[in-house]
Amino acid sequence: MGLPALREELRLHPGPASADGAPTWTLQDPSGNRFFRIDWPTFLILSHWHAGSPAQVAAEASSHAPMALDSQDVEAVLDFLGRSELLQCTTAMDTRRLDLAARGRRRSAGSWLLHHYLFFRVPLWRPDPWLQRAAPLVAPFFSPHFAYLSLLALVLGVLGVSRQWEHFRHTLVGSLDWNGAKAYLAVLIGVKILHEFGHAFTARRLGCRVPAMGVAFLVLWPVAYTDVNDAWKLPHRRDRLQVGAAGVLTELGIAAWATLAWTLLPDGTARNAAFLLATTTWITTLAVNASPFLRFDGYFLLSDWLDLPNLHARAFALARWKLREILFDLGEERPEVLPPARQRFMIVFAWITWLYRLVLFLGIALLVYHLFFKLLGLFLFAVEIAWFILMPLRSELGEWRQRWPAIRSRGRDRLWLGAAAAIVALGLLPLGFLIESQGMLKPERSLTLYSPGPARLTGPLPAHGTPIQAGAPLFALEAPELEARAQLASARAASLARQLEMAAVTPEKHADLPLLREEARRVAEEQEGIATERARLAPLAPFDGVWLDPQPDLQPGDWVGKSTRLAVLADPSRWRVETYLEEQDLERVQVGNGGHFYPEAPGQPVLGLRVSAVERDATHTLGDPALASPNGGAILVRQHDQRLIPERAVFRVTLDVDGPPPASLSVLRGQVVVRGEGQSQLGRYFKAAVAVLVRESGW
């Protein structure tokens, strides 16, 4: 029986040599704009396809090459051609086969919508005729002279930026606002259009057809695209690398000249435009287009450079095979035979790509969630997680299910099932009895002493650890301005007293008595205020205590400013620790629970603790600056009106020192460990996930 005829419009192009030096060819399907790399045996079989039966084709092909082909080789090629729809449709059976394939590709309305929400293309223009007419205009940009000039511009621009780095950095920070974001978006659109024209002009210059340019939407985010699939027919790898690198090289050229322009132009609109152009192209080129982990320019460049078409698919197949061998030792044949070094590279590359995509797709899912209203955002978040993360996992688990008899026969399934059961058991057991946080050790009763205003110290401050009796003076300050005000007030009071005496005995001045009395009352109030301020300059101890942490290097006669911290008066008989816990840990702590305090200061003993108070209202303002993240603490805060506001809800917990007071008599920061109610890690994660789901969905 004869073989079905090949489609007449198919084209064969010489391809690059394979890794072992054998020739290859590229089979082009013009109607679908598809390309297939075929090896020498396949080429020979296709060249003698007209010979008749598979045995006759194999015999004809073998007679023209130093290799032995049989009918099974021809049938394998026939299967490939049928699956790729490269055969002519001449019988009712062929029609049914194509109809079944078309039905298999159809999706339900919901599936179609979800697939096209994740990715779809909108071709806007058929640029091939215009590219051919405009080619002479852009020819100078392909010359070696322009490349050398651009390289020189890059070097000079980088040197210029290094000399003005602080100005460049401040300009970048200053542009990170909404107006700057809109400007960056406008520049980004223009740069990406030039990027695509770089691909298009390079492909057309090498004789390739460019059938379409347009916009692709990746999770509703617009991305310009150019159809340069025709580059697959180029026989030389260097030519394909030129097409793949053209967009990145276009952006790098723009970045080089824009960077140089920024260093040379005076401040103004032109320099701001050059700055936006330079930073946009540098960031997008290096962070996005050069990445080989997604199907952007970096991926195709790496694929062509290594001469590994379909790099992701082949690397993923090898990585899945290696994973099954590690887990189950199945002894299966590897998907393809490669040199050991290249095989290791592809496996590691696949694993890194999986990790990169996991982080990226989780980020995209969160971004999609926040871009839409809650219910739709939550649904699209679930779609992202299901499509990009859960479906690949489901597919691999399906492969394991098909291999289950072989997996059981190898015996490793019991090892891994046991390990998985142990991990789940550890996750379910309430083992997390200890709750760790950061806290401050301080006296239960203490008073931080500050200077009430600008003043001069009249005597030495007591030394650290000096006992202070209740009612004893703590320190003495003097304020010459206050003394001057006191003298003026005294003189004014004496003058008013004489005027009142004279007005009382002089009938002509009786009418002035009310005004004089009012002025005398105002001066008396001023004197009372001055006396109060004098008392604040020489305060008395409100309780028996110890003088702690005096301001160092303060000597009699030194000036201090308003609110300058001078020392702490503390009652050393009782000490406590204050810490802050998050909500999931607060539920596990009760009054009476024990714990320990581990001071950060070296040489300090560990102190026993007992929980004495648990606040159920979240702390709005952090009272201990030493626990704030800007000061090296563990609590993330933001500053607002000189207040430290926690970024996440935290609750204050007070613990009494259970035992003798610390010998250092100092306020210390340290680690707090409290024995609380046990909680399983899996239960904790589940509760946190449910809480986020309920909170964000608005239920």
Rounded Cα distance, 342 and 348, in Å: 10
Rounded Cα distance, 190 and 445, in Å: 66
Same domain, 82 and 218: no
> Domain residues for 489?
479-536
Name the residue with tokens 């203490």: 446
By the 8 A CB rule, do 468 and 544 touch? yes
Name the residue with tokens 């770089």: 198
* Any domain includes 234: yes
Rounded Cα distance, 212 and 504, in Å: 107
Dihedral, 382, 383, 384, 386 alpha carbons, nearest 10: 80
DSSP symbols for 288-352: IIT-SSSSSHHHHHHHHHHT-TTHHHHHHHHHHHHHHHHHH---PPPSS---HHHHHHHHHHHHH
List residues bridging with 12 in a β-sheet.
Answer: 27
Measured from the Cβ of residue 606, the count of other Cβ atoms closer than 10 Å reads: 12
Same domain, 131 and 271: yes
* Any domain includes 590: yes
* Total count of domains within the chain: 4
Supply 118's token pair.
């994740």
Which residue in 669, 667, 668, 665 sits closest to 466, CA to CA?
665
The pLDDT value recorded for residue 335 is: 87
Same domain, 58 and 190: no
* Per-residue CA distances from 395 to 2, 235, 293 (Å): 39, 36, 20
In three-state form (DSSP H/G/I as H, E/B as E, the rest C), the secondary structure along 126-158 is CCHHHHHHHHHHHHHHHCHHHHHHHHHHHHHHH
Same domain, 101 and 113: no
Supply 417's token pair.
């099932």
Which residue in 262, 275, 270, 272 sits closest to 153, CA to CA?
262
* Any domain includes 200: yes
Same domain, 48 and 192: no
Which residue in 32, 197, 211 sits closest to 125, CA to CA?
211
Same domain, 225 and 279: yes
Same domain, 23 and 117: no
**Burial zone of 532 (CB within 10 Å; 0-12 exposed, 13-18 middle, 19+ buried):** exposed
- Decide which of 307, 337, 360 is a domain's last residue: 307
Dihedral, 680, 686, 687, 690 alpha carbons, nearest 10: 180
Query: What length does the chain have?
Result: 699
- Decide which of 88, 105, 122 is a domain's last residue: 105
The pLDDT value recorded for residue 150 is: 92
Same domain, 267 and 291: yes
Q: Where are the beta strands (DSSP E) in 126-241?
A: 213-218, 221-226
Rounded Cα distance, 135 and 163, in Å: 39
pTM for this model (two decimals): 0.59
Which residue in 620, 617, 611, 616 sits closest to 578, CA to CA?
611
Rounded Cα distance, 161 and 340, in Å: 44
* Any domain includes 682: yes
**Burial zone of 475 (CB within 10 Å; 0-12 exposed, 13-18 middle, 19+ buried):** buried
Same domain, 120 and 94: no
Same domain, 625 and 513: no
* Any domain includes 389: no
Q: Could you tell me the mean pLDDT of each successive run of 10 residues in the chain, 699 residues long?
A: 78 78 82 81 86 84 82 86 80 66 56 57 88 92 92 92 84 69 78 90 91 80 83 84 88 90 86 83 72 82 83 90 86 85 92 85 71 65 73 84 81 72 72 84 84 86 86 86 86 84 76 82 87 85 85 84 84 88 85 91 87 90 86 86 85 88 78 84 67 59
Rounded Cα distance, 576 and 634, in Å: 19
Which residue in 26, 29, 78 sits closest to 57, CA to CA?
78
The pLDDT value recorded for residue 610 is: 92
Pairing of strands 25-29, 34-38: antiparallel
The pLDDT value recorded for residue 69 is: 85
The pLDDT value recorded for residue 220 is: 64
